[in-house]
């Protein structure tokens, strides 16, 4: 079942019971030619159940980084076996592209297509937009990902780079 929301709040909000919120963000380092992706998954109580940080050599264009981040977030949620997710990011352009039925023709089309395909596997899903202030944990993880070698996944533990944001 596909459902979409059009929220654009400034604060992070808990998902409904039996749902998980999957926030993602992308960051770029033009000097190194790398993209960092941060993903945080929280339950209906607001508790962090998992995070992922990933660094990849990729053309350092913001839309490409955000689209790649959405794909990583969808795949991560699927790998964890989640059924009902709200995919939330601060890139309005990516959120709108994921909500549309038609294919977008841009540099990030392949990532967006694969993310949509991945979303269709979930029992129920939504895509929503949140302003940067409501996506700060994913943002901090994405920035931190620029300093790692490949990727790091954590389950039910907090990274120092996000601890203050959770208080």
Q: 113 phi and psi, to 5 degrees?
A: -60, -45
In which band, very low, low, confident or very high, does the pLDDT at 17 lie, cut at 50, 70 and 90? very high
pLDDT band at 160 (very low <50, low <70, confident <90, very high): low
In order of start, what are the domains of the chain with their CATH numbers?
20-166 (3.30.420.10)
- pLDDT tens sequence across 87-113: 999 999 999 999 987 666 667 889 999
| Percentage of residues of the chain with pLDDT beyond 70 | 84
What is the rounded average pLDDT of the residues 74-82? 97
Predicted pLDDT at 148: 93
Other C-beta atoms closer than 10 Å to the C-beta of 31 total 7
The pairs formed by 8-13 with CB atoms below 8 angstroms and a separation of 24 or more are 8/92, 8/129, 8/130, 8/131, 9/130, 9/131, 9/134, 10/130, 10/131, 10/133, 10/134, 11/133, 11/134, 12/46, 12/130, 12/134, 12/135, 12/136, 12/137, 13/134
Mean pLDDT of the chain: 88
């Amino acid at each position: 079942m596909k459902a979409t929301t059009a929220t654009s709040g400034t604060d992070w909000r808990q998902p409904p019971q039996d749902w998980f919120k999957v926030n993602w963000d992308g960051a770029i380092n033009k000097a190194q030619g790398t993209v960092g992706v941060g993903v945080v998954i929280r339950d209906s109580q607001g508790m962090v159940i998992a995070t992922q940080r990933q660094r990849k050599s990729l053309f350092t264009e913001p839309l490409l980084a955000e689209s790649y981040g959405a794909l990583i977030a969808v795949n991560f949620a699927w790998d964890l076996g989640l059924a009902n997710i709200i995919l939330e990011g601060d890139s309005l352009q990516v959120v709108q592209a994921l909500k549309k039925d038609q294919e977008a023709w841009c540099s990030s089309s392949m990532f967006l297509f694969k993310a949509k395909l991945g979303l269709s596997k979930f029992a129920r899903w939504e895509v929503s937009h949140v302003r940067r202030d409501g996506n700060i944990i994913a943002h901090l993880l994405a920035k931190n990902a620029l300093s790692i070698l490949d990727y790091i996944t954590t389950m039910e533990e907090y990274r120092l780079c996000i601890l203050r944001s959770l208080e």
